[in-house]
Structure 1
Amino acid sequence: MKKSEIRKLYLQKRKALSSDEIFSLSENIFKNFIDYFKPISGQKVHVFIPIEKFNEIRTQIFIDYFLSRNIQVFVPKIVDTKLISVEIFTESKFEVNSWGISEPISIEDSEISDFDFVITPLLYCDSNGNRVGYGKGFYDHFFENISKETKKIGVNYFNPEAMVEDVWKNDIPLDYLVTPTDVLSFLG
């Protein structure tokens, strides 16, 4: 399938989910992530803040868990046309940007590149780790500038079905996909 078809289909599938389903599926994704990756104190995790109107995975449970275990938490913020990574703490203040995304008020880029994990938003991921997002390319550019050792992990309500036909040369595949039922590795 083409990315444009996938975006349309998976936005519709997400829209059909009830808030109870979103909460339950998000919890299952969180549990699968914790059981598989076993994050520990001192690690660095970059995790997105969900766009609620698009029914994205509720990542606050990840953030609360990480902060309670002395795992450094970084979240994305768009400054000009670039995605930067801002470290957050329990007392960090947030504001909603023009896209309806909650972001930290701080515009201080941590300039961290050696994250242990980058938990990545997506609409779809195929069985080769090809990610379909919203088409802006923010995460592909972000992935270019992080350590090769960083685990790039997508989270999604749905397991892969169709292959992404129009993969571009600048698209950077994920290393893993965590769903409510599985953790899939694309590392070979």
Structure 2
Amino acid sequence: MSPTLNSLRKQLRSKRRQLSAFEQNKAEQQVLIQLNHSPRFKAAQKVGLYLHAFGEVHTHKLIKLCFQRKKQVYLPMICNMNQNLVWVRVSARQYLNKRFSHHPLGMKEPMASRGRHVSHLDLLIMPLLACDHQGTRIGMGGGYYDRTLATATHFPYRLGLAHKFQYVEHLLSKQKWDQPLDGLLSPKKFYYFKR
């Protein structure tokens, strides 16, 4: 990893943490409106999302929207055997009752012993630290999404969720294991990429 990438990660993590509750709420509401009108979202029945934990765009309203639209909601869980993500279906009751366990890395996970492969999903909405105009996604550095998506070449549709400042104009240095996005949803704009 280059020092430039290290410093970019550090800078964007810090900027995300500095967002106020008002700014986070506004961003979540704006992406909610755009997502609700997206043909990809309307067509998807099985939607993978994340539980925000580190300053990412919040997903509470998006998850509730999925339940309102009668979509199946899947949340990620780290598989200890291979460090890939598996996707666990949660019910509205489980979600509202916060039936989650705490992972040592700091995020919450659904309480389950088994999950589905990512290719089971129609739409995957994922967090990121940065994305460029070619759909190159930079995550937190653990490689969980990249490892997982490397085993699913065609499905699901990969949609990054980001604050406006996380879309960068310059090209990000791409590693051979980086898995590109199909689209990026920010509070102000929906970006489409050719994978």
Find the partner of 2:49 among 32, 35, 47. Answer: 47
Find the residue that maps to 1:154 and give its secondary structure: strand
Question: What does 1:12-91 correspond to in 2, within 5 Å?
Answer: 12-37=14-39, 39-40=41-42, 43-51=45-53, 54-80=54-80, 81-91=83-93
Counterpart pick for 2:156 among 126, 150, 167: 150
Contact 2:44 2:123 in 1 (8 A): no
C-alpha separation in 2, matches of 1:79 and 1:149: 20
Matches of 2:40 and 2:145 in 1, distance apart?
Answer: 24
Distance of 1:154 and 1:146 partners within structure 2: 16
Contact 2:146 2:177 in 1 (8 A): yes
Of 140-149 and 152-161, more deviation after overlay is shown by 140-149
Q: Contact conserved, 2:130 with 2:168, CA < 8 A, in 1?
A: no
Between 1 and 2, higher relative CO (CA 8 Å, sep ≥ 6) is seen in 1
Equivalent pair of 1:41/1:70 in contact (CA under 8 Å) = no
Which of 168, 187, 193 does residue 180 from structure 1 map onto? 187
Q: What's the offset of the Cα at 1:147?
A: 5.3
Aligned to 1:95: 101
User: The residue matched to 2:28 in structure 1 has which SS?
Assistant: helix
Structure 2 runs not aligned, ≥5 long: none
TM-score with structure 1 setting the length: 0.90
Q: SS where residue 147 of structure 2 aligns?
A: helix
- One-letter amino acid of the structure 1 residue matched with residue 141 of structure 2: G
- What is the CA-CA distance between 1:64 and the residue it aligns to? 0.9
Q: CA 1:172 to 1:182, structure 2 compared with 1: closer, same or farther past 3 Å?
A: same
1:32 partner amino acid: Q
Point out the structure with the larger helix share.
2
Scaled by the length of structure 2, the TM-score of the pair is 0.87
Unmatched tracts of structure 1, length 5 or more: none
Number of aligned residue pairs: 186
| Structure 1 position 114, deviation (Å) | 3.6
- Which digits, 9 at most, give the CA deviation of each residue in 1:26-84, with x for residues without a partner? 11112112222363487111111111xx2111111111111122211111011212211
